[in-house]
Structure 1
Amino acid sequence: MSETTPQPLTVKDIPIVGNKELRKVICAAGLGNAIEWFDFSVYGFLAVIIGHTFFASAPQSVQLIASLATFSIPFLFRPMGGAIFGYLGDKYGRKNILSFTIILMSASTFAIGLIPSYATIGVFAPLLLLLAKIIQGLSVGGEYAGAVVFVSEYSPDRKRGFMASWLDFGSIAGFLVGALVVSTISLAIGQDAMGDWGWRIPFFISLPLGLIGLYLRKSLDESPTYEAQNNNSAEAEEQEKVETTSVGTVIKENLNGIVISCLLVVAVNSTYYMLLTYMPNFLSVNLGYSYDHGVLIIIVVMAFMLLVQPLVGFLSDKIGRKPFLFLGSVGQLFLAIPAFYMVMHHNVFMIAGGIAILAVLLCCFIGVMASILPALFPTDVRFRTLAICFNIAVLIAGLTPPIAAWLVETLQSLYMPAYYLMVVAVFGFIAAVKMPETANRPLKDATPVASSKTEAKEVLQEHFDYIEDQVNEIENKISDLEEQRQNLVDQHPKLN
């Protein structure tokens, strides 16, 4: 393999990404997250009808369990999807793989609306439903990680926190739209028609959304960071080397980033599922509120989160990502019990206030997570490593609702979910301590990205200052090592 001497970086080497192009990237990438959570919402709200439609031979109490179990199956296939699409995304580009995953995801969701009922085709109905959910799991395994990588590699260094925060904004928006669509259709056609055929309509909506996302993604260029790597012949050779490197070597070289990302994702998604999935059931089963009442409160809180989350991303570009991780983890550690104390009062304002506290703390996490994770890994293995870590951690976090319910039932304490949140808050705190500050810095082993020529000059100078600091730090370490060496040599008669 030929060796080349790296040339000094100049302003011409800094990619310029304008606001118009950035908005297009955010829309294209965020739409995939919105479709994922749209399906999450629709399936959850229609779980009873889906259970009756596809598991009609089972007792009514078992139908809902079977429906929810089918919903959970895709989580098992997400790590496999992350590994497959992550590898392909590192080899063939982020844009191409994201174009494939969004159409695969929307098509599998659309297919659920086409599957005949158990009364029509018997056991093939639940089998086809399971197949559609497995395909969803594989595609989602590459979708979120790919979108996070794509947006982060496209975003200027000074705006990455704000830009990446819109991805999870899309997730929450997709959930809310799903709830609104189901409620509107049910109100318009009535419960009987909804159970007969109306439930299929929300699933059909996913296909046109996917086609819009496909069009937007196809119209974009590849991310500047990925293109810069492939355009450099020396780095291209290094890419070939990495592709033949064992999984063990990749893990060893990126172990710190892997540990941080897994800790962070478990902390964030455990809190996410506790608040948005478990809480409505907690309010209805354990506190006696109607399920619809609990869901309405959650929807209001999620709408509030839509306002807070981008603000956290914006501020993280000004003061850093780590302060928000510390605020979210420490706040959750000390406020989880007071928040649940408020939730358990029979006053709607107290309930909303307690949930709002947890929601603000969650926003501290999800407002910065999408900008932190890609910065932990180098470009050549960023997609695959992040996708596998993220989906394994999500699989673990997905156990949060049943574990919380089991703890409450077994230990007969309504505060067990709060204690659970306190434990995962420690994970978030450890991640905050271990991670390097990534705000206003280029991605790992990547060229800086700017939003204008003027900013490019400033970013380049900041990059040079950072390199000088790193060189000085290395020289100080070398000096200390030389001093230690000399001390040892002085103690040995034959080495003097």
Structure 2
Amino acid sequence: MTDLKTAEIAGARKKAVSAAGIGNFVEWFDFGIYAQFITIISMKFFPSDNPTASLLSGFAAFAVGFLARPIGGIIFGNIGDRVGRRTALSGAVLLMSGATVAIGLTPSYESVGLLAPVLLVAWRILQGLSAGGEYAGSGSFIIEYAPSHRRALFGAVNPMSVALGTAAGATVGLVVTQSMNEASLESWGWRIPFILAGPVGLVGLYLRLKIQETPEFEAVREAAAEAVHPPIVRAFQEGLRPMMVVFAWSMVTAVSFYLLGGYMVAYNTEELGLGRVDALTSYIVALLVFAISCPLTGLAADRWGRRPVAIAAAIGLAVAVIPSFHIMGMGGLGATMLGQGLYGIFAGAIALITPVIMVELFRPEIRYTASALAYNMAFALLGGTAPLVATWLIARTGDPISPAYYVVLFAAVGLVAVLVGLKGYYAKDSIRSLQMGTEADKV
């Protein structure tokens, strides 16, 4: 390999990681804003004399977006596996930003009646379609550019950018909350972060349009375009078992992340009695801890193997989640940050494994579609419903710790998935991918 070739690959890799990571950041900045203002949105679009009923309706609308994710995975997966990752990812970020801006511009129930919640649900469905194509695509894009001995570390960009995008949305929410009185915030201030998604999304789109397709996809582009059966058919024909593994692991990923990313602000305010500023502050800190945990876990997975690190992550989450909720329940900002931070460490470790196995268990020709469908089916069932279930569990049992038991249940599911499902996929838990190395691996 010439020095020029090496420089070209390294430069393309840097652009790919930046564009995919920033685009992913934008997607979850948009997607996560909803959770930050869920209590206000619930009152505006689902008014009720019972605050819990309004909140449950708001979380139900949150869950609707997840139900659309498998469909989005199929649509964008087909584009990504036939036309290219870049085209699919550019469309995904544009759709997400447009739908998010639309939420910010939609009139409330008081102004237009039932049309308001109908439109809100419609925008959430469009957000869900976009999110369904985003995570698998950006993970494939980043890891396909990575050297084989650093794939888990490169894969950390995906969950990190999700956490940082969500935290950025929360930070904007915190700034908006602190800069105006409660009446103004509830009247119109909550709309500002949603409207900001427009220009932020255009930045993400610009970056994605400037990048080159991955070498791994380019090597199979012609065969993929001429294949008789669409990627979704071939995914079931060739990749059913790994799809089941990804689905099972994504179940614990969905529950653990969306109890943090979609529920904790409401939990902090409604159950722990924190003010909105303290609730958002604690939430942001937990997301930052989550983000830091991802590359550290990636380094471990590259050093010691995917399977043993995944086993440790599942056990660690099951052991830590109940104490973390007890610590949060002690009251005060400090205890809440400590408890949520402890939870964030293991939720981040769980999340790191997900994009790695989504790439390494499938051939490039079906990778986007197969991984997106398996991943998004789990998130449709358990991601969007996690805040709803947590709210219901507390209302039904009166126990503020009850959501932790829900996490323990799915940590056990994840543990079984890696103990049984991953056995044999990584010979002696090798740190190398199942895919053949490319010239880029030598850079």
Length-normalised TM-score, structure 1: 0.78
Match of 1:448 among 422, 438, 442: 438
**Within 5 A, what are the aligned runs for 1:96-495?**
96-230=87-221, 235=223, 240-243=227-230, 247=233, 250-290=235-275, 292-346=277-331, 349-398=334-383, 399-433=385-419, 434-435=421-422, 436-437=425-426, 440-444=431-435, 446-450=436-440, 455=442
Q: Is the 8 A contact 2:35 2:262 kept in 1?
A: no
Distance, in Å, in 2 between the alignment partners of 1:336 and 1:30 is 28
1:32 correspondence with 2:32:
no
Give the aligned residue type for 2:220.
Q
1:128-180 deviation per Cα after TM superposition (whole angstroms, max 9, x unaligned): 32222211111111111111111122222122211121111111111111111
Distance 1:294 1:128, change over 3 A: closer
Overall identity of the aligned pairs, in %: 31
Report the Cα distance in structure 2 between the residues aligned to 1:251 and 1:148, rounded to whole angstroms. 20
Kindly provide the amino acid, as one letter, of the partner of residue 317 in structure 1: D
SS in 1 for 2:68: helix
Equivalent pair of 1:324/1:365 in contact (CA under 8 Å): no
Residue number in structure 2 paired with 1:81:
72
Out of 140-149 and 408-417, give the one that drifted further. Answer: 408-417
RMSD between superposed Cα atoms in Å: 3.0
1:361 CA displacement: 1.5
Residues 393-402 or 283-292, more deviating: 283-292
Q: Is the 8 A contact 2:390 2:403 kept in 1?
A: yes
Deviation, structure 1 residue 324:
1.8
Letter in 1 for 2:254: N
Q: C-alpha displacement at 1:262, in angstroms? A: 0.8
Unaligned stretches of 5+ in structure 2?
Answer: none
Counterpart CA distance in 2 for 1:447 and 1:172 is 30
Change (3 A) 1:236 1:252: closer
Q: CA deviation at 1:375?
A: 0.9
Is the 1:316–1:439 contact (alpha carbons within 8 Å) kept by the matching residues of 2? no
**Are the counterparts in 1 of residues 60 and 388 from structure 2 also a CA contact under 8 Å?**
no
Query: What secondary structure sits across from 1:113 in the alignment?
Result: helix
Residues of 2 paired with 1:114 and 1:413: CA distance?
38
Unaligned runs of at least 5 residues, structure 1? 1-9, 457-496
Cα distance, 1:337–1:101 mapped onto 2, change above 3 Å: closer
Alignment of 1:87-98 (within 5 A): 87-98=78-89
Q: Distance in 2 between matches of 1:409 and 1:333?
A: 23
Rounded to whole Å, the distance in 1 between the matches of 2:180 and 2:116 is: 25
Shifted more, 375-384 versus 350-359: the winner is 350-359
Three-state SS of the structure 2 residue aligned to 1:339 is: helix
Change in CA separation of 1:201 and 1:403 when aligned onto 2, cut-off 3 Å? closer
Q: Is the 8 A contact 1:442 1:448 kept in 2?
A: no
